[in-house]
Structure 1
Amino acid sequence: MDIKNTLNDELLAQDFAGDEYSHLYLARYKQMASTYAEIENSIAVLSDIGSSQSYIYYGGVGEVLGLALQGDSLVIDSIWEENIFCRIHPDDLLKKHTHELQFLHFLKNISAKERGNYYLAEWLRMCDENGVYYSVLHRMFYVISPNSGNIRLALCLYNLTGEFSAENMIVNSVNGCRTDIDTHDCSDLLSLREKEVLTLIGKGKSSKEIACDLSISIHTINRHRQNILQKLHVNNSAQAFSIAHELHLL
């Protein structure tokens, strides 16, 4: 999934060389994740971005969905819990990755000191082993390294809920303020010129026509096209236009 690839690359591109005490953070948050699974009956997933490993702890939700017995745990060599993703409605999975990319860009625009105050809350549809869908509240917390300001760990919690909400929010856990993730501006992902080019591509214009409209060379237009594809991690302009709309870039 292209959005997921973009998010993956941005997270793994961080320099973890300055995270001297990462093993201490990991031990502490593994215990927290296990406790969430026990007390809230969550499926709790702790992803160590530096080592590309995830630790999954199953509460009662895991048993209801037929994923694992309550109290089970699992270690995987990835920061993506694909065994859980396959139970999320495909439309919701795309939105989930899109929201997480938006959340990451939201955090990049505030100070490292404040980043740990925020989490993402969104509603998903997840099915059990018989294909019956349930409403699930997914919460995602990034753990910020105090040494480097890197996002070192990601904690995801999946809980069954009796209601489904269309609201997907970035929440400040200190003061309770909420930001609607679906209307959040992450416009810095593409430059102004790249947005202009992509908008004209979406209108079906050729590179020659775009060059004429913007009074720049075809060579420059083609360079912008390549930059857009690389930044959005897509294979063609149609996919780029679609994802740009998902991220509210245009």
Structure 2
Amino acid sequence: MDIQKKISRNFQMQPFSSDDDSEKTHFLKTIALGYAVTENAISVLSDLKYNKSYIYYGGMAELLGIADSYTNETVNSIWEKKIYDSIHKDDLSKKHINELRFYNFIKNLPPQKREGFFVKESLRMFSRENKCFAVTHRMFYFYENYNNNIRFSLCLYNLRMDDEKEESFILNSLSHESYILDNEYDNRILSEREIEILRLIEKGMSSIDISNTLSISKNTVSRHRQNILEKLQAKNSVEACKIAKEMKLI
């Protein structure tokens, strides 16, 4: 999936520090294991610096036929393919879009304001017998002390309770702030002017054409184009238009 590649590139382009992080890695692995055991969940701790994931399987994993209960494995990827294969394809697409939304949300916050935020959403997962289960997915970020880059992500998969809401949210466990992740939220990622320019780019218009159409300078158009690429984590305008369509921005 293209968005998956964008997110990987975002993480890998971060200037990670060279500090010894073995103690923090061990601490977070213990947390991930604890979630899997106490909640019968599947927990995935991804190390974004080394492109590696530590996966811990609770009873839910055996129910889905993914792995035996209370086992674990390490994979050389931040994308847990074995788990993704059991997620409904529409929900998997939504999950990756929400991760891009969350990444943009966090990156637009000052470092001192990032604590406590996580994503919560509902997914459909299927067992080997094709039985559908309602699942709650939560994702948390952990940061380097040196430069506040996103170093680890922790994904938790739990069987969903009947009274849980199905919307996708960004939540804060400390301040109780909440933001519904939907198309209205996406419209806040890009400004109205950026969306207007992206629509013209999608029509094949050059920067000079856009400048004349909107009666703004070519430099202003160039600045907006660069902002669009950064916000959508795209390497070129074609890619930006494709992501924007997936997010229903244009």
Instruction: Tell me the TM-score range normalised by the shorter chain.
Output: 0.7 to 0.9
Contact 1:115–1:144 (CA under 8 A) maintained in structure 2: no
AA aligned to 1:10 is N
CA RMSD, Structure 1 to Structure 2 (Å): 3.2
Counterpart for residue 133 of structure 2: 134
Relative distance call for 1:196 and 1:48 in structure 2 (3 A) is: same
Matches within 5 A, 1:54-203: 54-163=53-162, 165-182=165-182, 183-185=184-186, 187=188, 195-202=195-202
Relative distance call for 1:108 and 1:217 in structure 2 (3 A) is: closer
Structure 1 residues 73-101: Cα deviation after superposition (integer angstroms, max 9, x where no partner): 01000111111111111111111011111
Matches within 5 A, 1:167-246: 167-182=167-182, 183-185=184-186, 187=188, 195-202=195-202, 204=203, 207=206, 213-214=213-214, 232-233=233-234, 237=238, 240-246=240-246
The Cα shift of 1:131 comes to 1.9
The Cα shift of 1:138 comes to 0.1
The Cα shift of 1:16 comes to 1.1
In 2, distance between residues paired with 1:111 and 1:224? 22
The Cα shift of 1:4 comes to 1.1
- Unaligned stretches of 5+ in structure 2? none
In 1, distance between residues paired with 2:147 and 2:224? 32
Contact 2:124–2:134 (CA under 8 A) maintained in structure 1: yes
In 2, distance between residues paired with 1:224 and 1:170? 26
Higher RCO (CA 8 Å, separation ≥ 6 residues): 1
In 2, distance between residues paired with 1:110 and 1:172? 13
- 2:31 pairs with 1:9: no
The Cα shift of 1:236 comes to 7.9
In 1, distance between residues paired with 2:43 and 2:29? 10
Relative distance call for 1:2 and 1:148 in structure 2 (3 A) is: same
AA aligned to 1:171 is L
Structure 1 residues 135-183: Cα deviation after superposition (integer angstroms, max 9, x where no partner): 1000001012222211111100000114373311111111222111223
Contact 1:119–1:142 (CA under 8 A) maintained in structure 2: yes
Q: What's the secondary structure of 2:68's corresponding residue? A: coil
- Unaligned stretches of 5+ in structure 1? none
Number of corresponding residues: 246
Structure 1 residues 27-69: Cα deviation after superposition (integer angstroms, max 9, x where no partner): 0010110111000001000001111110000001101100001
Contact 1:16–1:150 (CA under 8 A) maintained in structure 2: yes
Bigger drift between 192-201 and 120-129 goes to: 192-201
Q: Quote the sequence identity (%).
A: 41
Contact 2:201–2:237 (CA under 8 A) maintained in structure 1: no
